[in-house]
C-alpha cells in the first residue's frame, strides 16, 4: 500500500520474500528426498497421484485468478487519487493478494505432500494474518466506520458464498 491508502506492515516485503524462499527451498529439498530417496513422507502412497495433481491444478488456478484480479483492481486506480476499493475481488475477500500467494504455495504441497513444507506454510499463513491485521488497523484509523462495515460484510480469508 505504498503511495496508497493505508500503511503496509514495515517488514511486509521482506517477510514475503523470506517466507516464499524458505517454503520453496524446504519443499524442493523434501520433494527431492521423497522422489529420489523415498523417505520424506508416506502420504503420497495413500492418495492417488491424479487426485493430488487435480488439487495442485485447482489451487494453482485459484491463486493465479486471485492475484490477477487483485492486481487489476489496484492498477486501475494507479493514476487516480488513492481510494478505498471494495468492489470486484475485494467484494469477496479482503486480502486476495495474500490469499493468492498462500494458495500458490499450497498448490505445490499437493505434488509432494511434504509435511515439513506444510509446517512452513502454516507459519507463512500466521505471518500473513498478522500483517493483514496490522494493515487493517491502519485502514480503520483512516476510514473508520466505512472499513469496519466492510469487515463485517467481507471475509478476511475465506469468501462467503451466500
Q: Per-residue pLDDT tens for 47-104? A: 566 777 888 899 999 999 999 998 887 777 655 676 788 888 999 999 999 999 999 9
Contacts of 29 (CB under 8 A, 6+ apart): none
In 3D space, the residue among 121, 126, 123 whose CA is nearest the CA of residue 109 turns out to be 121
C-alpha to C-alpha distance for 30 and 90, rounded to whole angstroms: 35
In 3D space, the residue among 58, 116, 73, 66 whose CA is nearest the CA of residue 93 turns out to be 66
In this structure, what DSSP letter does residue 90 have?
G
pLDDT for the residue 37: 47
Whole-number average pLDDT of the chain: 82
More confident residue, 68 or 40: 68
pLDDT for the residue 7: 74
Share of the chain above pLDDT 70, in %: 80
Contacts of 65 (CB under 8 A, 6+ apart): 100
Indicate the pTM of the whole model.
Answer: 0.79
Give the residue carrying C-alpha cell 521423497.
34
40 pLDDT higher than 60: no
pLDDT for the residue 46: 64
The answer to whether the beta carbons of residues 7 and 1 sit under 8 Å apart is yes
Q: What is the mean pLDDT of residues 11-24?
A: 86
C-alpha to C-alpha distance for 24 and 145, rounded to whole angstroms: 40
The answer to whether the beta carbons of residues 6 and 135 sit under 8 Å apart is yes
Distances in Å between the Cα of 106 and the Cα atoms of 27, 120, 122, 149 are 11, 10, 10, 31
User: Which band of pLDDT confidence, cut at 50, 70 and 90, is reported for residue 155?
Assistant: very high
pLDDT for the residue 39: 45
pLDDT for the residue 59: 93
The answer to whether the beta carbons of residues 94 and 151 sit under 8 Å apart is yes
Amino acid at each position: 500500500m505504498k503511495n496508497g491508502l493505508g500503511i503496509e506492515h514495515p517488514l511486509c516485503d521482506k517477510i514475503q520474500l523470506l517466507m516464499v524462499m524458505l517454503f520453496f527451498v524446504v519443499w524442493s529439498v523434501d520433494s527431492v528426498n521423497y522422489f529420489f530417496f523415498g523417505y520424506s513422507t508416506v502420504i503420497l502412497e495413500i492418495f492417488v497421484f491424479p487426485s493430488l495433481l487435480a488439487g495442485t491444478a485447482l489451487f494453482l488456478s485459484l491463486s493465479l485468478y486471485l492475484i490477477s484480479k487483485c492486481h487489476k483492481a489496484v492498477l486501475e486506480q494507479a493514476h487516480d487519487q488513492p481510494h478505498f476499493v471494495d468492489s470486484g475481488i475485494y467484494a469477496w475477500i479482503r486480502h486476495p493478494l495474500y490469499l493468492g500467494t498462500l494458495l500458490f504455495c499450497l498448490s505445490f504441497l499437493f505434488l509432494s505432500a511434504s509435511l515439513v513444507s506444510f509446517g512452513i506454510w502454516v507459519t507463512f499463513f500466521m505471518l500473513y494474518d498478522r500483517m493483514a491485521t496490522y494493515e487493517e488497523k491502519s485502514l480503520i484509523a483512516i476510514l473508520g466506520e466505512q472499513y469496519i462495515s466492510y469487515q463485517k460484510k467481507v471475509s478476511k480469508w475465506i469468501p462467503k458464498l451466500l
